[in-house]
Structures are given as structure tokens and as C-alpha cells.
A and B are shown apart, each in its own frame.
Chain A
Amino acid sequence: MGLFRRSLIISFKEKSIFRFDYLVGTVFAFFYIVLKVSLWKGLYGAGGTEIGGIALNSMIAYSIIAGFTEGITKTSVMKELNDSVVDGTISGHLLLPMGLGKYLFIRSLTRGIFHTMYAILPSAAAAMLLFGFALSIGPANLVLYFCSVCMGTAINFLYQFLFGSTVIWLRNSFFLGNINSVLLSLFSGAFVPIWFFPEGLKALSEFLPFRYIVFEPTAILVSVKSCEETAAVLGMQLVWVVVLSEAVSLVWNRGRHRLMIQGG
């Protein structure tokens, strides 16, 4: 816990040096919400009639909360791992008195907390004020959303760590970064909710972990799920956390023996 607190303090100090960049980041995070909401308003048109059982107000709420959830669950661990393998700086990380996974997780989490407080919360709050929030969110929803977001964060971290570890064999981080972007932008539901997907893609998304990172936590908070459905989502998230943890241990234990560190 002491280590976590120290890491959190260092992360805050590190980021507060670049506070202007964060301020700009906050402003543009808000602009991106405006962009998404404008697009949905353009799609729903002046009438704003329900499409697929989803009304415009729910869609606006979804856009704001999805942006918020995406910000919290975001991690750059794959890029960090890829870069450190390609340029050899991973050797320094391996000398730390803790496992690489644990170190990267603490770093990712502290950065996530900072990012949420400075960039995500203010922009989401401003968007809520500007567009109004037509949803009534109960305390139960909030608790379930929090649990779901925690597991979504873990899923995203583990998946990115797992996928990032393959750089040891493939040695091409640009390719991996793009493939990661393809999978996340298509299946996470951060931009287009999975409700609107054609049946084939919707069915495919059921077998992948990505929808449990942004789409499912957001859907829990906007109250479109029954108790049974929410329990099923949390159960599936737990399953993915266990499966990905095992896969990470397996791949990383094999990969670190093949690690080739450049420089001298």
C-alpha cells in the first residue's frame, strides 16, 4: 500500500509539471463529448424518436458516461511494454524489486486516477450541465457500475499486457498498436454502442473481452439492464479477469526467457 501511495504521489508530481497540457486535454475531452452528442442529435433528427428502443436522451447520457468510462479504464501499458522491449529499457524495469506486471499495473492505475480527476471528471461534468442529464441513477446502479468499471480496468490492463507481450516474438510495436486500436474501437462500444451492431458482429462481441471494458459498465449505469443481466455481466467480467490473468502468467513466463535486450 505504501508503494502504491508513493507511486501515486510521484505520478501526481510528474503530471502537475505539465498542467497546461492537462488543461488543454480537459478542454478537448469536453469537445469530443460535444462532437459525439452532435452526431447523435444529427442522427436522431428533430423528432428524436426512439431507435431500437433507445431514445435520444439515453443516447446522450450513454455518450457522456461512455467517454467517462473509457477515460477511467484507459491504459497505455501495451505501448509502454512495446516501446521498452523495442528500445531495451525493459532491462531497467526487470531490475525493480517487484514483478513487472505489478509495477506496470500500479503505474497505470495511478496515471488513470490522475487522468480521471483532471481530464475526465471536469469534462463529463461540463457536458452534463450543458446537455442536461435525463437519467435517474440509483445508489445500487452506482455501486454496480463501480464494480464493473474496476473489473473493466483489470480486463483492459490484462489484455493489453498480454497482447503487448507478443512484441517479444513479433518485434513490431506499430503493427500491434494498430491491431489493438482496431479491436478496441470496434468492440468496446465507446463510440457506437453494441445495440446498433448487426447480429453477426453482436454475436462475435459476446466471445471477446472488449465489450466488458466500456460498453457493459456504461449500460449498467444508464439502467438498460435487469438485475439478472447485470449479475451475468459481472460474472462474465470475473471470468475474463481470471482467464486473462492465467494467459498473462503463461505468456510472460515464456516470453521473458526469450527477451532480447539491445544495447550494452
Chain B
Amino acid sequence: MAAKGLYRYLRLTYFFTAKAIKGMLTYRWSFLANCISQALDYSVTFLLMWIMISAFDTMNGWNAYEVMLLYAFCLFEYGITGTFFFNIMNLVPGQILKGTFDDVLVKPVKILPYLISSSFICNYIAHMTLSAIVVAVCMRALKLSFTWHFLGRAAGILLCGSLVYAGLFLIVTASAFLPAKIDALFQVMYFFREVSYYPISVFPRVIQVIVTTLVPYGFVNYYPLRALLGKEDNAVFGRAAAWGPLVTTLFFTAACFIFVRSAKCYKSSGS
């Protein structure tokens, strides 16, 4: 029964993905210009990071390439999540406000799997391409080789990180179902995302605790890469990497639960 349900939503994802790609190809030059401009925007962040850290050699024991690797992983995971979840966060609050979310409720589908299936967008290809290039450059500079072991661990990091982002997107969206929408959650999400671009050991203890427990951005890149690169800095939770898969899975499950429960508070405001 579960396999049949999964197959059904995978088929839906296939159709919506095909639709999104056709839509993108209709405006291909505009799409290309947007991708290039986005890639340029993120490249500047990489460049500024490199300029800043190169002037000092290291940031709390992390050199410029190691910090850029942190950011590249973060960006890749954001790209994966954005491809399937960004439109949920972007469109659903507006649908709730106008009352057009009714359209989703009258369909013979479960809300969350349907939203994930139908929200595919191609726009994050620039994020993923750029971060893959930067990962390759950094690995070359750090003399790391692409072994099967490394690729397996990298895939695990990307999966866990994407779950954290997806969980945050869902929690922010869920707040739109509540009577008082909490816009501040956007700020929380984007501020701590920026914190995760750097080794979190440079931040005050309170921020380190928050990004390990409440908003688990630490598991997106810092803790797993710290273990992978064998770094020994003064992080508060130095041995947290081993908890990564459990923490991220629990966080995503809790976020799904919050989303589904919040969706029950929806009151149509349409005609």
C-alpha cells in the first residue's frame, strides 16, 4: 500500500517536473540570464570569503579553501532543497491569504506529498553547478581525492543538510497557517544560514548552542566536514558529527509533523 502511494507521488513528481522544464525552455534566455546572474552573485560571496581569509591565512584554524568548502556544501544542499521545497515556502502563504489553498485540499491527495511533488523548479541549477565547481577546486587545493569513501560521505552530508533545509522551509511555511503569521522566522532562518557559511567555532557559545540544537545548521556542513577534514578547533559540541543523521532525520520528521498539524488550522478566506 505504501509502495503504491509512493509510486503515485513519484509519477506526479515526474509530470510536474516535465511541466516545469517545458516552462523553463519556453523562456530559455531569460532563464539562462537569471542563472548566470545568480551564479555571479554567489561567486562574489566565495571571492569575498577568499579575499578575507587569505589576508589572514586562517580563520580559527580553517584556511580559505576549507571555509569555501563549508559554504559550497551549504549552497549545494540549499539548491537541492530549493528545487523541491522553495515554491512551497514561496507560494503557499499567498494561497492561504487569498483562500486559493482550497484547490489543494479538494484534490484526492495528501497535502504534503502533493506539495513536494508539484513544487519542482529548475532555478537552483546555478547553485548546484557553482558549488560543485567550487568543491572540485577546493579538493584539488586541499589535496583531497575523490575516493568512493569520500563520495559516500559527501552524499550523506548533502542528504542530511538538505533535510535540515527542507525542515526549516516547512516550519516557516507552517507558520502561515496560524492566525498570526510569524515573519520573524524568515529572519531566523536566513541569519543562521549565514552563520553556517563559516566555522561555527568562531561564534559566541550561545550561537553555537542554537545552531546545534534549535536551528540545527551545524549539521548542514560544519560538524560533518570538521570530522571529514580532521579539524580540531574549540567548538562547544566537538563530537556532534556522529549525531548528524539522527538529529537531521528527527528535525525533518518534526517539521513535517508541525506542517501537517498547522495545515489543519487553515480557514478558507476565499469565496
A positions within 8 Å CB-CB of B: 20-21, 24-25, 28, 31-32, 34-35, 38-39, 41-45, 51-52, 172, 174-175, 177-179, 181-182, 185-186, 191-192, 196-198, 201
Contacts and interface: CB of A to CB of B under 8 A. Distances in A.
B187 interface: yes
11 contacts: A21-B183, A38-B207, A42-B59, A42-B201, A43-B59, A45-B56, A175-B37, A179-B37, A182-B40, A185-B41, A196-B55
A31 B191 CA distance: 8
Interface in B173-203: 183-184, 187, 191, 194-195, 198-199, 201-203
A186 B46 CA distance: 10
B187 A28 contact: yes
Contacts of A34: 204, 207
Contacts of B199: 42
Given A51-B55, A178-B40, A192 B48 contact: yes
Interface of B: 30, 33-34, 36-38, 40-41, 43-45, 47-48, 51-53, 55-56, 59-60, 183-184, 187, 191, 194-195, 198-199, 201-204, 207
A81 B57 CA distance: 42
A136 to B, nearest CB: 26
A178 B38 contact: yes
Contacts of A174: 34, 37
B175 to A, nearest CB: 13
B33 A172 contact: yes
A34 B192 CA distance: 12
Contacts of B45: 185
A179 B40 contact: yes
A201 B38 CA distance: 21
A186 B55 contact: no
Given A28-B187, A179-B40, A186-B47, A44 B34 contact: no
B60 A24 contact: no
Contacts of A31: 191
A42 B51 contact: no
A26 to B, nearest CB: 11
Given A39-B59, A44-B56, A186-B44, A178 B34 contact: yes
A15 to B, nearest CB: 14
Given A178-B38, A186-B47, A28 B55 contact: no
Nearest to B56: A43
A39 B38 contact: no
A185 B44 contact: yes
A43 B52 contact: yes
